[in-house]
Amino acid sequence: MASNINANNINGTFPIAGQDNDSQGFRDNFTNIKTNFSNAKTEIEDLQSKVVLKSALSGGSLDNSGGAALLNDYELRDMSETRVAQGTTSGTVTVNYAQGSYQTLTTNGNISLAFTNFPASGKLGRVRVEVSLASVSHTLTLPAAVTIGADSLQGIVPATKVITFDAVGTYIFEFTTDDAGTTIAVNDLTRNRTKMDVRTPVNTGQSGDVAGMTVVDSSYIYVCTGAYDGSTVIWKRAAISAY
């Protein structure tokens, strides 16, 4: 913006030494000085409320919230992201996007994830959740809105979105949405997509079986031909040949 401070409306040559000077000249200078001080105060306060600062101004606290303003054409270097530690927990764990884009938790029981404060529809929100699994008996349930990429996650039952794990350890999941969380995509950053389970399927299958799922035992590879419905799913099998 253009400044309203006028450095040219003050007569620097007034008063003239050695002669009588009209008092109006004093009044004009004082008035213009006061106006410029007032304009300076307004503009400085405007800057104080809007600029990005490296540290807090004297007598204030640091708040560089951008208010969703556009930031473009910058080169980033040595940047970090806020890490939110949810601690050791169980039950429903709410991931608040506004708090930070990397959140961690350690299980001491089953976990059900929930999300809040994703960006407005039309903007991309991305958050990663690090799960330190303390026991293979602990499960992770994803919200119903997690529909993109969920069915092929290792250990998931698509109908319930419950994930079981075959080993303790640390697992990192990335969740993205561009419609404020109505539809959420998931990606497992620590493991490949659906692996071949080791079990012998019954002919009618079991809860969670879907077409294309494969399992293996010591003698056969099995391929599921349809979604489990309690009676009609057929598992086709082929013998494993020794090399």
First to last CA, the chain: 77
pLDDT value of position 241? 66
Residues 93 and 182 in one domain: yes
Angstrom distance (rounded) from CA 124 to CA 22: 67
- Overall number of domains in the chain: 3
Residues 169 and 219 in one domain: no
pLDDT value of position 95? 98
Domain-terminating residue out of 52, 70, 93 = 52
| DSSP states of 102-116 | EEEEEEEEEEEEEEE
pLDDT value of position 192? 83
pLDDT value of position 243? 47
Residues 6+ apart with CB under 8 A from 98: 116, 117
Residue 221 lies in a domain: yes
Residues 88 and 184 in one domain: yes
Residue numbers of the chain with a pLDDT score lower than 50 = 243
Reading the block at residue 125, the tokens are 């929100």
* Count of CB atoms situated within 10 Å of the CB of 165: 19
pLDDT value of position 210? 76
Residues 95 and 184 in one domain: yes
Residue 155 lies in a domain: yes
Q: The domain containing residue 23 runs over which residues?
A: 1-52
Reading the block at residue 13, the tokens are 């040559």
∠ CA(136), CA(137), CA(138), 5° rounding?
Answer: 90
pLDDT value of position 194? 65
Residues 88 and 113 in one domain: yes
Residue 204 lies in a domain: yes
Residue 73 lies in a domain: no
